Structure 1
Amino acid sequence: MSTEETLLNLDFDKPNTAITPPDDGVLSLSSSAEDICLVPEVGFEGNVDSPGVNRESQPLLGGRGDLDVSFNHFPDDPQFTELVWQAEVAIDNGIFPERIYQGSSGSYFVKNPGGKIVGVFKPKDEEPYGRLNPKWTKWMHKLCCPCCFGRSCLIPNQGYLSEAGASLVDSKIGLRIVPKTRVVKLVSETFNYLRIDRERSRLKRAITEQFPNLRFNRMGLPPKMGSFQVFVEGYKDADYWLRRFEQEPPSERIMDKFQLQFERLVVLDYIIRNTDRGNDNWLIKYDAPASRGMTDPSEWSGEPEVRIAAIDNGLAFPFKHPDSWRAYPYHWAWLPQAKRPFSQETKQLVLPLLSDMSFVQELCDELHVLFKQDKGFDRGLFERQMSVMRGQLLNLTQALKDGKSPVQLVQMPAVVVERSKGGSTSSRFFDSFQQRFQHKSPFFSWW
């Protein structure tokens, strides 16, 4: 037996197991029970790493070379591309994403090389009912209540697309309340992986230690696809500031600014039909006056500002209106701000866009490009999602024209605007649509 063959006799949790290099250049794990291909497409090259990247200290990751570099590249947004690249560099240098322990899914604070949090990453396979969700609460929910787990109106395990879709809608309309969110691929040993994936990485490391010139197409753990949302600083839960506003009412000018921001949140949530909007998953940033002792706003040093950030948009874009057990209401509908009619500023921002059928179709087309990235994409379900969204747009447009308030908007009958079956793809802007009202209500209603 040659020296090379002797060094390849590695233990891999199985007795009488050996790694042998076959003639076709593919290394595989052989045993008496089964043949499992663990290390596909292996070749020998003189240089393994890219210049300037030190991967020897990260045996489980394999560096950014494991990623499709073009996937995380956004030509239309170089600033976001740079932010994701900085996160990848940080991971390469051992600054790993940190799991967020709140919530019911696996989500992570992502840092830059300086250790500063720059984003929130939510992998697809660690969503509430994903196969690698590290939180046991949803696993127990699914195990003990299989007949009523999850939201029956949503497509399972597509929350990462919903997060990015909400950002797309926000940017398209110009609301500017959703932190920039896009779909990326990241890899980190702090993510939740199957044991076999980690063992494969260790095996590859053992092989490369013996054969430095050996190159694997994927050196470390497999990259995860998910949503990457830019981290916003200086914000607190809406519930915190809403209580403070009751105890220490700001000036009328500040509350007018807050009202405009609030209306943008209403517009966003209604369009995407958010099924998970409580007062704990949208944020408020309030720069209070420099001196609380001064009662005259003209004496303040600088004009205070108030901003809203709409985060946690992963449970939106349903393919039907809720009609089973829960209504999934918008909890902002109980706030006093929801009783005021929509402002003229909001009407001027939203109405010209939503009244343009070309704009609506363009929005649907861009969402189609985004959603079809998912391997489980279903064109029929996507069209049903857009039918719900078009119905929401129709109601919102009518409410703005009629001078209604947010609370009156959410009381309007649920409507679905479906594309007629006779519509021609080549003349989509002239397609006819038909409206259908939903008469079935959830068992637990909220009005």
Structure 2
Amino acid sequence: MTPEFGGFQRKNASLVEAKPVEKEVELSVISRKPLVRDFLLEPVFVNPKIKLSSMLWEMIKSTLHGLERGKQPIRSSEGTGGAYFMQDALGKKYLSVFKPLDEEPMAVNNPQGLPLSSNGEGLKRGTRVGEGAFREVAAYILDHPKSGPRSLLSGEVGFAGVPPTVMVQCLHKGFNYPEGYECAPKNVKIGSLQMFMKNFGCCEDMGPRDFPVEEVHKISVFDIRMVNTDRHAGNILVIKEGEEGRIVLIPIDHGYCLPENFEDCTLDWLYWPQAHQPYSPDTVEYIRSLDAEQDIALLKCYGWDLSIECARTLRISTMLLKKGVERGLTPKLVGELFLM
């Protein structure tokens, strides 16, 4: 029996404490050799047939190399959960960001001093404590490239540009543990590992009028479809590309996507001028290609069964988005339907 680390539906799980459930499912990892050091980093596969792209493997191996060279995870001072910047071997740059399940807001090892959830519900209504990392990975999987459905074997950039993200198990003394815990294999943490994106700040640092329309629209498509309950200007990174410094927006922090209902949505871009403009023909064509049933099956293939409620949310949001653009509605008008 090995612990089940994937799955939105983790039957009999203690979601408040974000503990794994015992289930007969074999996990595939980089190595099954006994742990001989006080750190570990390996990808977690619920489905052993899943293959990772060379880009994801390189992120994992480079992050592990940094741990081997003694570079400590650096906990972010921002946010309500535990998020760790993972360094390269020289300690000169960040490679990735690790978010453990058990350090999520209102989880048992949350480092920010938040109280435990009394009923398993997260900070956002319709979400569950201990599921944020799964949603982070699901956001990357469902951010399909224009060429078609996402494959973790492909290194293609998704339509909205969600950074490459994968589920891993990680052990290091630098994480948050209760007093008296030892850094041992039994205390390994499960969470999402996302590629760190070098940026010039976030959208909070500048006025929205400078953002290209298509960049705002791509995030609106993603947020509407995924029913993002936590989209604010602070979790959209600003990147500048090329000699002309073309602005590219990168959406991050998707632990509150795919909720069980539409009660607690936050969509800051609704109030930006770009949201008043209609979608381009290319964006409309991309929206037409979306298929909720295909997405639900895809997540199941990767080992995560959406609950009935979350699957219903995805079906409704996808239908609403598609019907909205067919009627020529702007992002603002479609998005406002979520807030009614």
TM-score by length of 2: 0.77
More helix by share: 1
State the shift of 1:328 in Å. 2.8
Residues 1:183 and 2:108 aligned together: no
Q: Is residue 120 of structure 1 aligned with residue 97 of structure 2?
A: yes
Q: RCO greater where, 1 or 2, for CA within 8 Å and sep 6 or more?
A: 2
1:68 and 1:344 map into 2 onto residues whose CA distance is 42
Cα distance in structure 1, aligned partners of 2:335 and 2:72: 42
The structure whose Rg is larger is: 1
Is the alpha carbon distance of 1:312 and 1:371 closer, same or farther for their aligned partners in structure 2, counting shifts above 3 Å?
farther
Rate the CA distance shift 1:222–1:71 in 2: closer, same or farther, 3 A: farther
Alpha-carbon RMSD across the aligned residues, in angstroms, is 3.0
Separation in structure 2 between the aligned mates of residue 149 and residue 70 of structure 1, nearest angstrom: 24
Q: Which runs of 4+ in 1 moved over 2 A?
A: 67-76, 146-152, 171-174, 194-197, 219-222, 359-362, 368-372
Query: For the structure 1 residues 304 and 88, does the alpha-carbon distance in structure 2 shift closer, same or farther, using more than 3 Å as the test?
Result: closer
Q: Give the count of matched residue pairs.
A: 294
Deviations 1:58-111 (A, max 9, x none): 5xx1x44xx667759973312211211221232133112110011111110011
Query: Would the aligned equivalents of 1:161 and 1:371 in 2 still touch at CA under 8 Å?
Result: no
Paired letter, 2:308: E
Contact 1:241 1:284 in 2 (8 A): no
1:238-270 CA-partner distances (Å, limit 9, x unpaired): 122326x4xxx6xxxxx6xx1111111001101
Does 2:107 match 1:130?
Answer: yes
Output the CA distance in 1 between the equivalents of 2:187 and 2:226.
32
Q: In 1, distance between residues paired with 2:309 and 2:100? A: 25
The residue that corresponds to 1:331 in the other structure is 268
Structure 2 residue identity aligned to 1:239: E
Q: How does 1:30-429 map to 2 (within 5 A)?
A: 61=38, 63-64=39-40, 71=45, 75-115=51-91, 116-136=93-113, 138-139=114-115, 150-171=123-144, 172=149, 174-198=158-182, 201=183, 222-242=187-207, 245=209, 258-286=212-240, 302-322=243-263, 327-351=264-288, 353-354=289-290, 359-370=291-302, 372=304, 382-412=307-337
Task: Supply the AA of the counterpart residue of 1:365.
Answer: A
Contact 1:185–1:224 (CA<8 Å) still a contact in 2?
yes
2:227 and 2:44 map into 1 onto residues whose CA distance is 32
In structure 1, what is the Cα distance between the partners aligned to 2:42 and 2:240? Answer: 40
Quote how far apart the aligned CAs of 1:114 are.
2.2
Instruction: Report SS of the residue matched to 2:317.
Output: helix
User: Alpha-carbon deviation of 1:227?
Assistant: 0.6
Structure 2 gaps, min length 5: 1-32, 151-157
- Mark the CA change 1:397 to 1:70 in structure 2 (over 3 Å): closer, same or farther: closer
CA contact (8 A) 1:119 1:230 kept: yes
CA drift of 1:400 comes to: 1.3
TM-score normalized by the length of structure 1: 0.60
SS of 1:113's equivalent? Answer: coil
Identity, % of aligned positions: 23
CA displacement at 1:304 relative to structure 2: 3.5
Letter of the aligned partner of 1:362 in structure 2? Q
Aligned partners of 1:88 and 1:186 also within 8 Å: no
